[in-house]
Structure 1
Amino acid sequence: MSSRPVGRPPLFDRDDAVLAAARLFWSRGYSGTTTRALSSALDMSTSSIYAAFGSKAGLFEEAVRTYAERYRTVYVEACAEPALGDVLGLLLRRSVEEFTQPSAQHPGCLISSAAMTDTPDTIDTRTYVTDLHASNERLLRERIERARDECQLRADIVPSTLAALVQTLWHGLSTQSNQGAGRDRLLEIVDAALEMLLDAAAHDRGRDVRPVHARG
């Protein structure tokens, strides 16, 4: 006879469970999400949840890490583009697409909720999110430094300031998405912001440094 771990349902799907939990954490926050609510959303007993994830905090951390790593991938792939306009265009547009995935596939930008948790149980998760943001911004700053060295930007542009500005825009787009702004509206904001940013920062004002998709 086959056996299965005690307390875990036979049809347990970890990915589905993490997504269901992530949706709940996103809408209610960590402190506002009870184990009873998680049990109902995941269709699992409290003991099964603890058996699978260790604790409520463990489930929260796995949910945050699962979706936050998708944004790290966006940054890495964007920073591999040869032109800075395409770096920023891909980064922001892909992020907006990620923010606005159908709810059946994505819980919203959960890392915003993670950054605002207020309990000692989630210290490790908050530290992870802080480190992730710092890592993404560092990667972007280094890419902007390269663009300046390649004369794609004015020599007086401070890469750390431009990277921080882009990060501020990224967080603003995330917040607006969480508040219900749709993909088309967010992409309009991205296009307007990129046009102003890149025009102001261009080494040669006669040079078109906008993302390829925005030209024409």
Structure 2
Amino acid sequence: MEWDDEKLRRFREGNPEALAAVYRANAEGLARMLRAAAWRGGVFSHLRGAMELENLILETFARAFEPRARAAYDGTRPYAHFLMGIARNVLLEQSRNRELAVGLEPFEGQGEVPEDNGGLAQALEDREVEALVAGFKEGLSTEERRLFELRFGEGLAQETAASQMGLTRIQVRRREHGIKTRLLGFLQARGYLEGLETRGWSFFRRRGDS
């Protein structure tokens, strides 16, 4: 997308319409860049499936739309490159958190968590979300659970998942959308992903975006 002084001003002020326009213009492009980066390996190799990719896109835009990040963008360099830099930082942070999580058990066994710079707290929250998702999966039907694993666990394309399940692609899309909508409601009822909604087939979007 092209930036002019007025668009950059509204973006930096956090105008909702401006933020929505930036999201619409860049979300699909960011997804393509991340998929390509995942094939090259490195820090992006952790993007194993659709859910990891979707979560990273959400977190990247959430950070890119924070006041400090909006003020840091100059409107000159490609915004896609700006987003990729943020995405890389998110993955590096998550990698550090996973390493920290390895040492959590002794503290949990004693009923206490050591103080640190926030990494352990984030790791604990990640564990809680993983447990919630596991609980959600237990409530799915056998077919839904298999679709969940194929699409979000193994990261298979819709066509491949449809072939393995003996369904058409449109049937997979509809079932997948239903699962994602229910998962979002499940997590929101427990205090996560508030203010988001499912839109289309690929991304969670903030309410009010179009």
Q: TM-score, normalised by structure 1?
A: 0.29
Larger Rg: 1 or 2? 1
Q: TM-score, normalised by structure 2?
A: 0.29
